[in-house]
Amino acid sequence: MSADLEAFDAYRARLLARLTPIEPTRLPLERAAGMTLAAPVEARTPLPGFANAAMDGYAVRREDAEPGARLALTGEIAAGQEHLPLVEPGTTVRIMTGAPMPDGADAVVPVEQADEAGETVVIAARPAAAAHVRAAGEDLAVGARALEPGTHLGAAEVALAAAAGAGAVLVRRRPRVAVLSTGDELVPAGAPLRGGQIVDSNGPSLAAAAAAAGAEPVAQPAVPDDAQALRAAFTAAAADADVLVTTGGVSAGRYDLVQHVLAELGDVGTTTVAMQPGKPQAFGLLDGTPCFGLPGNPVSALISFEALVRPALLRLTGRADLARPNVTARVAATLPGGKERLRFVLARLSEGEQGTEVAPLGTQGSHRLASAAGADAYVVVPRGVPRCEPDELVDAWLLSGDGWQDGQHVAYAWQSGRQARPLAVRSLR
Ligand code: AMP
Ligand code: MG
């Protein structure tokens, strides 16, 4: 690798190390969905809180419930009922799913396995021990940790926190991300274009990426390549937001002023990083606000956001897992690599005869948005690997979906600072 390129992993680690998570706040559970827990949630009661029926049926004494036994029906228990009848020998009571198990009974015979006629219930088959009874505390014991700090509160986690008795939780709020495009040539989408002008696609693109990462984007109008205008816009945005993301103006062109203005305003440095696309990168703190100066080419900006800004936003919220979930995929069409830099290849997954397959999306170029739209994954081809050929197995990082694989939640590399697996092709033939 040439001396002026910084290794991607080292650069990202250096950048993440400079971030301080947002101060936690206590929020009602329903407002905390989508945020990250800053303190554990412990079960205030056992879960379930009491032994209860898992089926609609009859609460029985198992020793009485021989096939063909006729039990006297003496009562009924509905969900939520407090005062319960006793199940005496030779008797049974009707019981509904979720209703507390009465004293005396130790199993439930489902309605489908019994015949109720008048005051009598005929049992078809003897229930197994504790059949269709949910034991108190079988899901969680009282005081047990239901959720760890650093957990993202998705629907299932919100459900568990609620069931565990947490009406409010300590979370880190969504970071406010100011997205600022820079360039004399930029006009907003939908506006008429004069000669040489182009539409600012990075603004809406990175605002969408920030929202998808659980942050709150604060869209700003594009700023011209003018030091004074850039200074004013950056200062105001950094004061208002938790993170500042700019695009454009970090390369070697005459009008690439962003890096200079950021360096002048704060402790921000510009580096060439061994990644493709996205080589020139600025990062630092502007009055304590983390500030990313991403390159202007639309695909470079998006990949830079994905590879650098997204993990940073998750780190600010205290998220334990910074990585996307991934799957092993068979290369279906050659993926380009590179000599000196990690190559991020936007790709599409499909199900082939031998499992998941991955193919690049059209010709990849840092300006080619038409080859980026529709990507549902990306592959990171390691430095020095010129290409990944068909049939090789690679890690495909999932852009969509939320970490479920083979029915399990998938937790990968980047857990709490430790890199469990390299962000790289897993196995090349
Ligand atoms: P720069 O990084 O400023 O040298 O810009 C590199 C390329 O990206 C140029 O072709 C710019 O016109 C283009 N570009 C810069 N900013 C944007 C933007 N916000 N939206 C779309 N293209 C952009
Ligand atoms: Mg420019």
CATH superfamily of 52-134: Molybdopterin biosynthesis moea protein, domain 3. (2.170.190.11)
CATH top-level class of 5-22+174-316:
alpha beta
pLDDT for residue 323: 87
- Residue 297 tokens, joined: 């080419």
Per-domain boundaries in the chain: 5-22+174-316, 36-47+142-172, 52-134, 325-427
185 lines ligand 1 (CB under 6 A): yes
- CA of 291 from ligand 2 middle (Å) equals 18
Rounded to an integer, what distance in angstroms lies between the CA atom of residue 50 and that of residue 255?
70
Phi, psi of 248 (to 5 degrees): 90, 160
Among all bound ligands, the one having the nearest atom to the CA of 280 is 1
Res 400: pLDDT: 63
Name the region of 287 (left: φ>0; alpha: ψ -120 to 50; beta: rest).
Answer: left
- In angstroms, the CA 57 to CA 109 distance is 5
Torsion of CA 382, 383, 384, 387, to 10 degrees: 50
Those residues whose C-beta lies under 8 Å from the C-beta of residue 392, and which sit 6 or more positions away, are: 330, 331, 425, 427, 428, 429
Query: Taking the mean position of all CA atoms in its chain, how far away is CA 423?
Result: 17
Q: Which residues pair with 171 in a beta bridge?
A: 25, 37
Residue 80 carries which DSSP code?
T
Q: Ligand 1: does its nearest atom lie under 6 Å from the Cβ of 249?
A: yes
Q: Give which of 303, 302, 284, 300 is closest to 292, Cα–Cα.
A: 284
Which ligand is closest to the CA of 199, given by its number? 1
Separation CA 150–CA 39 (nearest Å)? 8
Calculate how far, in angstroms, residue 294's C-alpha sits from the geometric centre of ligand 2: 11
The Cα–Cα gap between 393 and 331 comes to: 6
> Ligand 1, atom 15: nearest CA belongs to which residue?
296
Give, for 203, the enclosing helix (H) or strand (E): helix 202-212
Q: Which residue's CA is the closest to the ligand 1 atom numbered 3? A: 248
pTM beyond 0.85, yes or no: yes
Mutate to test the pocket of ligand 1, among 262, 281, 294, 297 (most ligand atoms within 8 A of CB): 297
So what's the pLDDT on residue 374? 86
Distance of CA 24 to the CA centre of its chain: 19
Among 216, 290, 380, 390, which Cα is nearest to 14's? 290
Residue (of 202, 374, 379) closest to 299 by Cα position: 202
Q: Are 168 and 26 in contact (CB under 8 A)?
A: yes
Q: Can you tell me the distance from the alpha carbon of 73 to that of 249, in angstroms, rounded to the nearest whole number? A: 81
Q: Assess contact for 133 and 114: CB atoms under 8 A.
A: no
- CA 216 – ligand 2 centroid, Å: 25
Closest by Cα among 69, 75, 99 to 88: 75
Fold of the CATH domain 325-427: Beta-clip (2.40.340)
Distance CA 175, CA 159 (A): 24
Neighbours of 135 (CB within 10 A): 13
CA 384 to chain centre: 31
Give average pLDDT by consecutive 10-residue segment, the chain, 429 residues. 89 96 97 95 96 98 97 98 98 98 98 96 96 97 96 94 97 97 97 97 94 91 98 97 98 95 97 97 97 97 96 95 89 95 94 91 84 89 94 89 37 29 34
Q: How far is CA 372 from CA 38, 91, 277, 284, in A?
A: 35, 69, 12, 28
Q: Taking a C-beta distance cutoff of 8 angstroms, is the pair 89, 64 a contact?
A: yes
Give which of 133, 125, 1, 2 is closest to 69, Cα–Cα.
125
How far is the centre of ligand 1, averaged over its atoms, from the C-alpha of 297 (Å)? 5
